[in-house]
């Protein structure tokens, strides 16, 4: 799938990711589906970690990753842009939400999600409905599910 570099595309943002294999799988997903990837530091691993490289293979060359020094820099850069937080604490399903082509879909840290102060800053919060008594899906799986829905709704796939 080829995309025009000026075309609006969804952005996946990872808040302080801490599992390199998950980040590697997300890099591949974004590269294959044409989404942009943004990483809010600090990461729980080095970006040249061999575990990340093993999963990413050569897909990292197909995607430019934008890094933010911290959440404040990320949030400031998104003024007048919509950020959607994916969280198990939301009440609205991602399937009931209308995505826009240039949304930034934010995923929390695998081990802890995002802090409460970030929850309070972001208006749009969505969840992936699951069976009762289940905590959460793997973040790479969650990214793929929500990104596919966003691309479908905005007719980018």
Q: What's the angle, vertex CA 56, arms to CA 54 and CA 57, rounded to 5?
A: 70
The C-alpha atoms of residue 13 and residue 39 are separated, in whole angstroms, by 6
Instruction: State the residue for tokens 């409905």.
Output: 129
The C-alpha atoms of residue 60 and residue 30 are separated, in whole angstroms, by 10
* Residue boundaries of the structural domains of the chain: 11-153
Q: Give the model's pLDDT for residue 56.
A: 60
- Predicted TM-score (pTM) of the model is 0.90
The C-alpha atoms of residue 63 and residue 5 are separated, in whole angstroms, by 11
The C-alpha atoms of residue 18 and residue 57 are separated, in whole angstroms, by 19
CATH architecture of the domain with range 11-153: 3-Layer(aba) Sandwich (3.40)
- Please report, in angstroms and rounded to a whole number, the separation of the first and last CA atoms in the chain: 9
Q: Could you tell me the mean pLDDT of each successive run of 10 residues in the chain, 157 residues long?
A: 62 94 91 94 76 63 88 96 96 97 96 94 96 90 97 93
Q: Give the model's pLDDT for residue 1.
A: 43
- Rounded to 10°, the helix 20-33/139-153 angle is 20
């Amino acid at each position: 799938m080829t995309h025009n570099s000026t075309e609006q595309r969804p952005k996946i943002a990872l808040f302080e990711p801490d599992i390199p294999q998950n980040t590697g799988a997300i890099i591949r997903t974004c590269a294959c589906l044409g989404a942009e990837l943004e990483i809010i530091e600090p990461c729980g691993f080095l970006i040249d970690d061999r575990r990340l490289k093993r999963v990413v293979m050569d897909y990292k060359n197909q995607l430019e990753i934008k890094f933010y020094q911290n959440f404040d820099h990320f949030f400031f850069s998104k003024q007048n842009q919509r950020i959607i937080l994916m969280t198990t604490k939301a009440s609205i399903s991602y399937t009931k939400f209308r995505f826009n082509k240039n949304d930034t879909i934010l995923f929390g840290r695998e081990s802890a999600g995002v802090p409460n102060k970030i929850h309070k800053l972001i208006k749009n919060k969505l969840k992936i409905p699951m069976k009762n008594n289940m905590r959460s899906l793997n973040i790479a799986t969650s990214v793929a599910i929500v990104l596919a829905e966003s691309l479908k709704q905005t007719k980018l796939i």
